Amino acid sequence: MLMKFGDVESAERIFRSIKAKDIITYGAMVKGYVGNEMFEKALD
């Protein structure tokens, strides 16, 4: 939800705090980066 509003830094901070990341969390981050036209980060 944060990515939708362009708050990428907060979304990244929350993502880093998640201990058990899965395909859903990674997919949400990629979608958020693409939605914010941050294509290089989406591929990282």
The 3 state secondary structure assigned to the chain is: CCHHHCCHHHHHHHHHHCCCCCHHHHHHHHHHHHHCCCHHHHHC
The pLDDT value given to residue 34: 96
The pLDDT value given to residue 37: 94
Q: What is the pTM of this model?
A: 0.85
Domain residue limits, the chain: 3-43
| Tens of pLDDT, residues 1-44 | 789 889 999 999 999 999 999 999 999 999 999 999 999 999 98
The pLDDT value given to residue 27: 96
